[in-house]
Structure 1
């Protein structure tokens, strides 16, 4: 049985739902397709959002010989077969190659296309669910235009689902299909922005639901739930989603938004990514809260230890406690800025030698080398402080730590000012 998703696949650009940021009127990809001057392109985005559909539409608008390969099972020999066809009568106008899942091609396989994409004998349209800037060979990437496809909105998916119902109704002819609005909305929401998944779930419900007494097929919310299974979660521990969610998680805490922070924690919890959560919370406590609330890292460490011992599902509770604590705590990145500046100086400056006064003097003959000579022991002075040079001569006036404006560091600033003025 032909998949319903293939039966309703658009044949015209106007029939494609979503992706208006690139396919809308006067948008760049729309203009490219209408011009029929097709460059090498890479379509990047999640599954089920129209990458293959748009590639097929582009193929139908050109007079080039069309080839289609999937990098999960294709090899260099498949590419060589296409290359062997070049300059033949069949490919007199050139070749349009659609290479799906290009991230599964290694560097050598991708390099085999370089010469022909550069001289125009092969026009490449590649698609990938992974970030092409990580997975596509740089030389091939530089010869291609990258277009990002985004998750479809619920409204766009519902439009396609309604079209799918109409197609099946025409097939069955003598059977009326009644699909509740709530069922369509559930199919759309449950798919996580993946149109193909929502249509597959609809297809399952249409072909497995028995006719009622009137001979009609009724798809209600209960049937939709039964045929959909668990909601798709847009998360991949090894891909972009992993880093995107962690990035949003940390930025929400840094931005003092506990609601957004808890939302992204929930995504990570759903993915079962306990290690990443714990590591990131410890980083945030040091990097973003820092000296504004030094005890935060101790509390977070306790929450993290508890979460690791408990495991899911109970781990979610101490993790939520840590997240809300960090999101609502005062913020300071002064320690992070200070150490990064010091590390940068080591990489980029001649910082010079350690002052002799500070060097180790706990061995015979150290004084003959002027080690430790002239060092003043701070505890012998008022406020346990005495002015002396600690930094190397080349950077003796360098300032790394600049206190931020918060209660804790204001107290630090006041203390440092006081002991220095007392001298």
Structure 2
């Protein structure tokens, strides 16, 4: 059922539709070197054959799963002979080109540069990662999409009607429910849809060759359809990205769906568990400090139990993280501090914070003037802890989300003993003539106002704010 012309080619209107760049090149009798990037069953091989036929070029297929450099050389030599004897161009089609290593890909490069062959490579993986830059710079990357429901349905109609290449010579009735099920289970893969239809017809045909195909016949033909996934390829990164963003955006339904997509396709549960531990610290953070413990416990439990039951602690953790309040204050605090470290480099530790171990260090005033917080009323003390060039900096800016709201209140009270200066609205320090690197986060201006101290987590019944010298109860 392969199409015999571009007009029969299903889908990909953005690639071969009237007026497209590639269609105009074909109309002019030219086909450029291409890298066809798309999922299985999207028509990469078929399109390569049609393009070759459209310009009257010989089609020289090579499979990267079984071919080596010697096979490439033989294909190129045939192209040379063809060019000398009949002035015929050759399209060298390399299926699954991402499976060729750098040496094998480099062997093609001179032939493409010299015009001996026109390269068309097919890959399911991102060419930016899997095809070397020299070949990419000499080719046009064409992205093919999985076929839509209407396109799969049209292919089924064509297969049922075609008497030469399809099932048109038989009296086949495809029930509407069976059609919907076949479209759903094919996942946009034309090859899966057509093969399943043929198998279902063969299984239900009577002695006269007629068949009535129902949804149960389709499911029987497909058995357990394989999920599209590659633990080292694009699907691996796309699915974990969708999972992380769903949890971050507090969508528990999407989170558990993407989790199931990964685990059912064979993803390593420990990979997912590690990402959840990172996510708990980065995106939930202090808004729910228990989230990190839940994620770590889920990782340990899944490792201890193993699959298949290991999905249970992972699902519990995913749902917990998805519905938890969110804060990335830890991420922002470290990023701001790291930017200042890069900008100011090796700022000296204030003398009163240095430990004095030797008599020489004590003579140099190491530790002199340090005040022990536990000797102070309330256990709080106002003294310099940052280097001289960074005094007054604020890196941690708590949110008002979840448990962090109470922390924010307490921190405001603690910081009420001195003007509150944020890294968001203070200039970065200048060391000599060197301009500091990094950028502050956001442009929100923070206003300082008097704060009421906290007592046992509750505000005292008083309207008097803490004075500059007043101890702050915990």
Q: TM-score, normalised by structure 1?
A: 0.88
Instruction: Give yes or no for contact 2:158–2:166 (8 Å, CA) kept in 1.
Output: no
Query: For residues 207 and 167 of structure 1, do their structure 2 counterparts lie closer, same or farther at Cα, with a shift above 3 Å needed?
Result: farther
CA distance in 2 between counterparts of 1:17 and 1:406 reads: 50
CA distance in 2 between counterparts of 1:329 and 1:140 reads: 47
CA distance in 2 between counterparts of 1:389 and 1:35 reads: 75
CA distance in 1 between counterparts of 2:56 and 2:167 reads: 37
Q: Structure 1: 5+ residue runs without aligned partners?
A: 1-7
Single out whichever of 284-293 and 362-371 deviates more from structure 2: 362-371
CA distance in 2 between counterparts of 1:222 and 1:129 reads: 31
CA distance in 2 between counterparts of 1:315 and 1:67 reads: 48
* Matching residue of 2:212: 218
Query: For residues 174 and 341 of structure 1, do their structure 2 counterparts lie closer, same or farther at Cα, with a shift above 3 Å needed?
Result: closer
Is 1:197 the counterpart of 2:192 in the alignment?
yes
CA distance in 1 between counterparts of 2:18 and 2:167 reads: 36
Question: 2:243 pairs with 246, 249, 255, which one?
Answer: 249
* Matching residue of 1:324: 319
Measured against aligned partners, the alpha-carbon deviations of 1:240-295 in whole angstroms (never above 9, x if no partner) come to 11111110000011111122112112212312432122112212111111111111
Single out whichever of 362-371 and 60-69 deviates more from structure 2: 362-371
* Matching residue of 2:51: 58
Question: 1:13 pairs with 6, 23, 41, which one?
Answer: 6
For the residue of structure 1 that corresponds to 2:141, the secondary structure is: strand
Matches within 5 A, 1:73-112: 73-84=66-77, 85-86=79-80, 88-90=83-85, 92=87, 94-112=89-107
Q: CA deviation at 1:371?
A: 2.7
Matches within 5 A, 1:231-380: 231-273=225-267, 274-347=269-342, 349-380=344-375
Query: For residues 255 and 39 of structure 1, do their structure 2 counterparts lie closer, same or farther at Cα, with a shift above 3 Å needed?
Result: same
Query: For residues 173 and 287 of structure 1, do their structure 2 counterparts lie closer, same or farther at Cα, with a shift above 3 Å needed?
Result: closer
CA distance in 2 between counterparts of 1:241 and 1:233 reads: 10
Query: For residues 209 and 305 of structure 1, do their structure 2 counterparts lie closer, same or farther at Cα, with a shift above 3 Å needed?
Result: same
Instruction: Give yes or no for contact 1:86–1:94 (8 Å, CA) kept in 2.
Output: no
Q: TM-score, normalised by structure 2?
A: 0.80
Measured against aligned partners, the alpha-carbon deviations of 1:349-380 in whole angstroms (never above 9, x if no partner) come to 52423333323324453313443233222222
Query: For residues 21 and 388 of structure 1, do their structure 2 counterparts lie closer, same or farther at Cα, with a shift above 3 Å needed?
Result: farther
Q: CA deviation at 1:106?
A: 0.8
Instruction: Give yes or no for contact 2:160–2:167 (8 Å, CA) kept in 1.
Output: no
Query: For residues 173 and 350 of structure 1, do their structure 2 counterparts lie closer, same or farther at Cα, with a shift above 3 Å needed?
Result: closer
Instruction: Give yes or no for contact 1:351–1:395 (8 Å, CA) kept in 2.
Output: no
* Matching residue of 1:38: 31
CA distance in 1 between counterparts of 2:397 and 2:28 reads: 57
Question: 1:71 pairs with 64, 86, 90, which one?
Answer: 64
Q: Select the structure that is richer in helix.
A: 1
* Matching residue of 1:228: 222
Is 1:48 the counterpart of 2:41 in the alignment?
yes
Measured against aligned partners, the alpha-carbon deviations of 1:119-143 in whole angstroms (never above 9, x if no partner) come to 4443211111111111111121122
Query: For residues 413 and 45 of structure 1, do their structure 2 counterparts lie closer, same or farther at Cα, with a shift above 3 Å needed?
Result: same
CA distance in 2 between counterparts of 1:204 and 1:158 reads: 17
CA distance in 2 between counterparts of 1:105 and 1:406 reads: 50
Q: CA deviation at 1:347?
A: 4.8
Q: CA deviation at 1:28?
A: 4.0
Single out whichever of 112-121 and 221-230 deviates more from structure 2: 112-121
Query: For residues 103 and 280 of structure 1, do their structure 2 counterparts lie closer, same or farther at Cα, with a shift above 3 Å needed?
Result: same
CA distance in 2 between counterparts of 1:91 and 1:288 reads: 65
Q: CA deviation at 1:62?
A: 1.5
Measured against aligned partners, the alpha-carbon deviations of 1:58-96 in whole angstroms (never above 9, x if no partner) come to 101214443221111222222223443438424735432
* Matching residue of 2:129: 134
Query: For residues 172 and 252 of structure 1, do their structure 2 counterparts lie closer, same or farther at Cα, with a shift above 3 Å needed?
Result: closer
CA distance in 2 between counterparts of 1:415 and 1:40 reads: 64
CA distance in 1 between counterparts of 2:407 and 2:24 reads: 60
CA distance in 2 between counterparts of 1:129 and 1:373 reads: 66
Instruction: Give yes or no for contact 1:350–1:394 (8 Å, CA) kept in 2.
Output: no
Single out whichever of 278-287 and 381-390 deviates more from structure 2: 381-390
CA distance in 1 between counterparts of 2:342 and 2:65 reads: 43
CA distance in 2 between counterparts of 1:119 and 1:299 reads: 60
Instruction: Give yes or no for contact 2:332–2:396 (8 Å, CA) kept in 1.
Output: yes
Q: Quote the RMSD (CA, aligned, Å).
A: 2.6
> If you compute each CA radius of gyration, which structure gives the higher value, 1 or 2?
2
* Paired residues, number: 415
CA distance in 2 between counterparts of 1:408 and 1:106 reads: 52
Q: Structure 2: 5+ residue runs without aligned partners?
A: 418-467, 470-474
